[in-house]
Amino acid sequence: MFDLLQHAITIGERLGARLAETRLDDFYIREIRTEMDEVRDVKNIRRVGIGINVYYNGASGYSFETNPSKKTIEIATKRAYKIAKASSKAAEVKIDPGEAPSHKQKKLELEVKKHPKDALLSFKKDLVLRAVETAQEYGKNIASITGRYGELFGHKQFMNSEQTEVSWSPLVVDLNIQVISKAGELLVDGRDGVGGSFGLELFETKKYSPEKIGENAGKWATEKLQAKPAPPGKHRALCENRLVGVLAHESFGHLTESDLVVTGMSPLAGKIGHQLGSEHATITDEGTMDPSRYHGFWLPFDDQGIQTAKTVIMDKGRLAGYLHNRETAVAMKAGLTGNARAVNYNFPPIVRMKNTYFSPGDLSLEEALEQLDTGIYAMRTVGGQANMDGTFMFKASRGYYVKNGEKEYPLREVTLTGSILDFLKNIEGATRELSLYSGYFGGCGKNGQYPLPVGLGGPHLLVREVQFGGEKQ
């Protein structure tokens, strides 16, 4: 396929492109879904497509093709050029991709012990059913148990007219279980799972065995049968790692994406060096965390062929940096961070995050609970949303009401809302551990590009005056 990419570059150059970029996504995808102990859906997908981005006189144009041949690639490249040319006439603000160092990297692969490509489908099916079995054991009044396994692997190739040639192999695996229990009219759920760039050997560990995942989902659904809604209003909160990760990514990370900064959309525009958070707030975006320790998404290169960097975006409460693609790095006279990503071949790369996390602090979990004193321990998440005015809305899927440092009673789903800038100022402490999460199911959405796999995480954070939503009783 490299010759087809080369063909696109040659045509782009011949047409007079300022810069031509092309990439091939070749992915193998498997999904298994179970209901109770029955295997409901099994999918086997091969997704191949080529995307071409052409820069011409201060604008770019993107085209894509799912039937790659010399002829179709030629048509697509000409179309991308035509779009770029039309945009360059209309654009009020010109973009400039600048110069990037040329890079050659062939077939970079994450080393894992049991790559999913070498494992049988029946083994993966058993992973799900093993989890379902323990979920049944630990659940009560079960209405349904849904199990899901998903994997994506394959190759990404990138080439540009600056002689950069990169190919690497993405990998993401995901196993999760949802138990729904019925208490009279009320339905409650418990979920657990693990996802990220790792081999199937992870499921042999005690912490992430299918049995443990099933046990947690069953236990947590059972616990929720007794759960009460959180009292709405402001509380001191202890936020668990996954929830903290979503806050780092969704509510703060997006505001540091420089396409939103250069265009004046982000409230963080022009605030580099400003003290926006407490000393406990340090947030980093990184492409290749140590995969033996963290289960994020392994991303060595972005979709402009740039090696991913480790970028501290908030340093002890001070705004320290933005995330860039080539064009914004030029516009803001900043260094390249490797944050240009496209969800698939249908889209051009835009500024996106990689693995975004809060740095750990020095508290033990016991100390954090003690310091919380009376408030809400909010755990896990089913997602959230942020707005460009800095407002956020996150759902914690479980939690406890804590009184005098002791868990009083379990909570149903709770919603945290507020302004991210207040939230960052109100962080009072962080625990010592750092956990990262990613997955095949779900992901980040921006400008219609969803779901992009990202990693996120952090320690537990202790935060004062967090607004909790919910029904007033």
* Residue range at the interface with another protein (CB under 8 A); choices 16-24, 75-83, 158-166, 294-302: 75-83
Identity of the amino acid at 6: Q
Could you say which of 15, 108, 143, 365 contacts another protein (CB under 8 A)? 143
Residue 107 is a binding residue for another protein (CB under 8 A): no
Residue (57 or 307) nearer to another protein, CB: 57
In the complex, least distance from residue 436 CB atom to another protein, rounded to whole angstroms: 22
Residue 1 is a binding residue for another protein (CB under 8 A): no
Helices (H), 195-237: 210-224
Residue that is written with structure tokens 């804590």 in the block: 402
Could you say which of 188, 340, 368, 424 contacts another protein (CB under 8 A)? 188
Using alpha carbons only, what angle is made at residue 223 by residues 221 and 433, rounded to the nearest 5 degrees?
90
* Contacts to another protein from residues 270-289, by CB under 8 A: none
Residue 144 is a binding residue for another protein (CB under 8 A): yes
Residue 333 is a binding residue for another protein (CB under 8 A): no
Residue (55 or 138) nearer to another protein, CB: 55
Residue (41 or 99) nearer to another protein, CB: 41
In the complex, least distance from residue 375 CB atom to another protein, rounded to whole angstroms: 17
Residue that is written with structure tokens 């860039």 in the block: 324
Residue 119 is a binding residue for another protein (CB under 8 A): no
Q: Which of 50, 52, 51, 66 is nearest to 12 (CA)?
A: 52
Residue 79 is a binding residue for another protein (CB under 8 A): yes
Residue (287 or 390) nearer to another protein, CB: 390
* Contacts to another protein from residues 433-452, by CB under 8 A: 447-448
Percentage helix, strand, coil for the chain under 3-state DSSP, each rounded to 5:
25, 40, 35
Return the structure tokens found at 29.
């995808």
3-state secondary structure of 274: coil
Could you say which of 114, 140, 155, 182 contacts another protein (CB under 8 A)? 182
Residue (16 or 121) nearer to another protein, CB: 121
* Residue range at the interface with another protein (CB under 8 A); choices 160-168, 183-191, 207-215, 360-368: 183-191
Identity of the amino acid at 406: E
Identity of the amino acid at 254: H
Using alpha carbons only, what angle is made at residue 198 by residues 195 and 204, rounded to the nearest 5 degrees?
85
Could you say which of 78, 103, 125, 228 contacts another protein (CB under 8 A)? 125
Distance CA 145, CA 189 (A): 9
Residue (337 or 397) nearer to another protein, CB: 397
Asked whether the beta carbons of 65 and 49 are under 8 A apart, the reply is yes
Return the structure tokens found at 324.
């860039």
Question: Element (H or E) spanning 244, and its range?
Answer: helix 241-246
Residue 140 is a binding residue for another protein (CB under 8 A): no
Residue (6 or 57) nearer to another protein, CB: 57
Q: Which of 60, 29, 89, 15 is nearest to 303 (CA)?
A: 60
Question: Element (H or E) spanning 155, and its range?
Answer: strand 142-160
Asked whether the beta carbons of 256 and 272 are under 8 A apart, the reply is no
* Residue range at the interface with another protein (CB under 8 A); choices 77-85, 97-105, 201-209, 372-380: 77-85
Q: Which of 70, 84, 95, 83 is nearest to 10 (CA)?
A: 70
Tell me the CB-side half-sphere exposure of residue 30, using CA atoms within 13 A: 20
* Contacts to another protein from residues 222-261, by CB under 8 A: 232-233, 259-260
Residue 189 is a binding residue for another protein (CB under 8 A): yes
Distance CA 200, CA 130 (A): 14
Distance CA 327, CA 386 (A): 25
Residue 264 is a binding residue for another protein (CB under 8 A): yes
Residue (61 or 439) nearer to another protein, CB: 61
Tell me the CB-side half-sphere exposure of residue 49, using CA atoms within 13 A: 15
Q: Strand ranges (DSSP E) for 277-405?
A: 283-286, 311-315, 318-319, 340-341, 350-351, 355-358, 375-379, 383-386, 391-396, 398-403
* Contacts to another protein from residues 373-402, by CB under 8 A: 382-393, 395
Residue (210 or 390) nearer to another protein, CB: 390
* Contacts to another protein from residues 336-355, by CB under 8 A: 346-348, 350
* Residue range at the interface with another protein (CB under 8 A); choices 43-51, 200-208, 302-310, 362-370: 43-51
Residue (111 or 120) nearer to another protein, CB: 120
Residue 413 is a binding residue for another protein (CB under 8 A): yes
Residue 154 is a binding residue for another protein (CB under 8 A): no
